[in-house]
Amino acid sequence: MQLRKDPITQSWVIQADAGDGLEKSEVCPLCPGHEALTPQTIYEYPYGSPNWQVRVIPHLRPIYQIEGDALRRAKGIYDTMRNLGAHEIVVEHPDHHLPLSRQPDEHVAQVIRAYVSRVADLKKDRRFRYVTVFRNQGEPAGQDFEHPHTQITATPFIPRRVGYELRSSQRYYQLKERCLICDILKQELVEQERTVEWDDLFVAFCPFASRIPYETWVLPANHLDAFEEDLASWERQLRFARFLKSVLGRLEAVAPAYHLVLHTAPNVNARFERSGNWQTLADDYHWHFEILPVIPSKSKSYGLKEVYYNSLTPEDAARELRRLVPAGSKP
Ligand SMILES: [Zn+2]
Ligand SMILES: [Zn+2]
Ligand SMILES: [Zn+2]
Expressed in angstroms and rounded, the spacing between residue 24 Cα and the centre of ligand 1 is 12
Residues lining ion ligand 3 (Cβ < 5 A) are 263
What CATH number corresponds to the domain at position 174?
Answer: 3.30.428.10
Q: Answer whether residue 305 shows pLDDT above 60.
A: no
The number of the ligand nearest the C-alpha atom of 95 reads 1
At 328 the pLDDT is 52
pLDDT on residue 21 = 65
Ligand nearest to the CA of 180: 2
91 CA → ligand 1 middle, Å: 9
Burial environment of residue 207 by CB neighbours within 10 A (0 to 12, 13 to 18, 19 or more): middle
Q: What is the chain's alpha carbon radius of gyration, rounded to the nearest angstrom? A: 20
pLDDT at 184 over 70: yes
Strand 202-205 with 149-155, pairing: unpaired
The pLDDT score that the predictor gives to residue 323 is 93
- Ligand 2 centre to CA of 34 (Å) is 43
Strands 195-198 and 202-205: antiparallel
Specify the pLDDT at position 166: 96
From ligand 3's centre to the CA of 206, what distance in Å? Answer: 12
Does 20 reside within a domain? no
User: How far, in Å, CA of 70 to CA of 162, rounded?
Assistant: 20
**328 domain residue, yes or no:** no
Which residues face 74 on adjacent strands? 79
Domain-located, residue 16: no
Question: Which residues have C-beta under 5 Å from ligand 1, the single-atom ion?
Answer: 28, 30-31, 96, 147
Distance separating alpha carbons of residues 69 and 116, to the nearest angstrom: 25
Is 8 in a helix, a strand, or coil? coil
Span from the CA of 215 to the centroid of ligand 1 (angstroms) = 28
330 within domain boundaries: no
The answer to whether residue 306 scores a pLDDT higher than 70 is no
- Our count of domains for the chain comes to 1
This model's pTM is above 0.85:
yes
* Distance of CA 148 from the midpoint of ligand 1 (Å): 8
User: Which ligand is located closest to the Cα atom of residue 35?
Assistant: 1
What ligand is nearest to the CA atom of residue 38? 1
Ligand nearest to the CA of 222: 2
Instruction: Report the C-alpha gap between 15 and 63 in whole angstroms.
Output: 10
What average pLDDT does range 118-122 have in this prediction? 98
DSSP helix/strand/coil, 24: coil
Structural domain harbouring 244:
2-10+26-323
Is residue 17 in some structural domain? no
Position 14, amino acid: I
What would the pLDDT profile of 125-158 be if each residue is shown by its tens digit?
Answer: 999 999 999 999 999 898 989 999 999 999 999 9
pLDDT for 265 beyond 60: yes
The predicted structure's pLDDT at residue 331: 44
Tell me, what's the pLDDT at 49? 87
**Position 151 in a domain:** yes
Name the DSSP class of 162.
H
Average pLDDT, the chain: 91
| Among candidate residues 157, 4, 158, the one with its CA nearest the CA of residue 76 | 4
| Contact between residue 122 and residue 152 where contact means Cβ atoms under 8 Å apart | yes
Domain assignment present for residue 18? The answer is: no
Give Cα 184 to chain centroid, integer Å.
Answer: 20
Ligand nearest to the CA of 226: 2
Which DSSP category does 291 fall into? E
The reported pLDDT for the residue numbered 17 is 75
84 vs 70: which has the higher pLDDT: 84
DSSP string of 202-218, one letter each residue: EEEE--TT-SSTT-EEE
Strands 43-45 vs 130-137: parallel, antiparallel or unpaired: unpaired
> What is the CA(242)–ligand 1 centre distance, in A?
24
Condensed to tens digits (0 to 9), the pLDDT of residues 6-65 reads 999 888 888 877 666 667 778 999 999 999 999 999 999 999 888 999 999 999 989 898
Pick the more confident residue, 216 or 50.
216
CA of 88 to the centre of ligand 3 (A): 21
Amino acid at 199: D
Count the Cβ atoms, other than its own, within 10 Å of residue 239: 19
| Domain-embedded: residue 306 | yes
Q: What is the pLDDT of residue 124?
A: 96
How many whole angstroms from 307 Cα to the centroid of ligand 2?
27
